Amino acid sequence: MFHYYRASLIFTLVCLGLGVWYGWSSTGGSVAGTVGMLWIILVLSVLEISLSFDNAVVNATVLKDMDKIWQRRFLTWGMAIAVFGMRIVFPLAIVAIAAGLGPVEAVRLSLNDPVQYEEIVSSAHIGIAGFGGAFLSMVGLKFFFDADKEVHWISVIEKRLTRISSVQAAEIALLLLVLWGISTRLPDEEALAFMVAGVLGLITFIAVEAIGTILELREEAKKAAGVVVRSGLGGFLYLNVLDASFSFDGVIGAFALSNNMVIIALGLSIGAMFVRSMTIHLVEKGTLAQYRFLEHGAFWAIIALGGIMLVSAVVHIPETITGLIGATLIGLSLWWSIRHNRRENAATAAPLDD
């Protein structure tokens, strides 16, 4: 068990060390100020882990079908994208675009005027909610709108979705209706921004799916010619966009605890690293195969997160509730899987006892 989380623990110590150095230097050598910053970093890391457990489960479902080299690339290159791209570059990019600043000015603003920096990032919430909510919702809906799906957890709903999936693009129509319905509750300018962002999220999902399909067709053609090769590039792109979408709520929610870019980056990066470790653990231990409905719980959690992001354009929903909903769905699916395994084992053992 320890070896799965060793790198994360080392990374945590490094980040906490950087936190001590930054806190000590920025507070003029105040012990209380430094301890306060460390506490916020730890709380942010726990928040990120709790919000992203479903992300680890979903990552594992995609990674288990990828070849080893692309698994390693996602867990290394993808880590850099998750930490530096989403936790540092993404908020800075929002500020630079929204305020019409250059990259250097955006960094200076984040360090010298964190209150204004937070206000600018928060002002982009409508667009983030539309894009991230649409992408995540499509990821979840795609899993359940599958005519070939035979295993069902919440049967009363999932069987109906499987039947409806015979109607082409039914999930896209459903998402567009939801986007339109929410946009009617917004002022005209915000409604347009929300709809555009939502459609772009939908297009991004379709584009990533298309790239994955094209690469799979190429692989099949090469295999037919006697060449054994699996690029895994489609899965790699899909996972990184999915990772980014999962990160939106964590990045925005972090401002509830601090508006200091350095503290937020350190706290969320620790959480992101532990999500990677959980992903590796799930893949190598074959946990998804052992627990029949765990994957279903993760995709229901994705739909819940996507729906919450979309609704958050109209009503503020605390990040704690978001995390609890995801954890509850995954916990229930895990318990249901354990119960199913016990029943199967009991049924198998019964004839032997006779």
Mean pLDDT of all residues in 97-108: 77
- Predicted local confidence at residue 227, as pLDDT: 47
Most confident of 74-83, 108-117, 152-161, 194-203: 194-203
Three-state secondary-structure class, residue 334: helix
- Predicted local confidence at residue 205, as pLDDT: 86
Mean pLDDT of all residues in 86-108: 76
Whole-angstrom Cα distance, residue 281 to residue 270? 17
Whether the pLDDT of residue 71 is over 80: the answer is no
Mean pLDDT of all residues in 15-19: 90
Percent of the chain whose predicted confidence (pLDDT) is above 70: 84
Integer angstrom CA distances of residue 43 from 237, 269, 352: 30, 12, 52
Mean pLDDT of all residues in 194-200: 92
| Count of CB atoms situated within 10 Å of the CB of 269 | 26
Mean pLDDT of all residues in 2-25: 86
Low-confidence winner among 246-250, 295-299, 302-306, 310-314 (lowest mean pLDDT): 246-250
Q: Could you tell me where the DSSP H helices lie in the chain?
A: 2-26, 31-63, 68-80, 90-99, 103-112, 114-123, 125-144, 155-164, 170-183, 188-224, 233-254, 261-285, 287-290, 294-311, 319-353
Mean pLDDT of all residues in 85-114: 76
Mean pLDDT of all residues in 165-185: 91
Most confident of 66-75, 231-240, 269-278, 304-313: 304-313
Tokens, residue 232: 């895994």
Q: What is the dihedral of CA 308, 313, 319, 321, to 10 degrees?
A: -40
Whole-angstrom Cα distance, residue 97 to residue 311? 24
- Predicted local confidence at residue 295, as pLDDT: 79
Whether the pLDDT of residue 170 is over 70: the answer is yes
Give the N- to C-terminal CA distance of the chain in Å, as an integer.
39
Whether the pLDDT of residue 335 is over 80: the answer is yes
- Predicted local confidence at residue 228, as pLDDT: 43
Between 206 and 220, where is the model more confident?
Answer: 206
Mean pLDDT of all residues in 55-78: 76
- Predicted local confidence at residue 202, as pLDDT: 92
- Predicted local confidence at residue 2, as pLDDT: 67
Which region holds residue 151: left if phi is over 0, alpha if psi is between -120 and 50, else beta? beta
Confidence class of residue 262 from pLDDT cuts 50, 70 and 90?
A: confident
What does the radius of gyration of the chain's CA atoms come to, in whole angstroms?
A: 22
Whether the pLDDT of residue 222 is over 70: the answer is no
Q: Could you tell me where the DSSP H helices lie in 184-260?
A: 188-224, 233-254
Whether the pLDDT of residue 56 is over 90: the answer is no
Taking all residues of the chain, what is their mean pLDDT, rounded to a whole number? 80
Cβ atoms 281, 287 nearer than 8 A:
yes
Confidence class of residue 108 from pLDDT cuts 50, 70 and 90?
A: confident
Whether the pLDDT of residue 247 is over 50: the answer is yes
Mean pLDDT of all residues in 174-202: 93
Mean pLDDT of all residues in 305-331: 80
Low-confidence winner among 157-161, 230-234, 263-267, 329-333 (lowest mean pLDDT): 230-234
Closest CA to 52 of 301, 239, 293: 301
- Predicted local confidence at residue 173, as pLDDT: 93
Whole-angstrom Cα distance, residue 277 to residue 3? 9
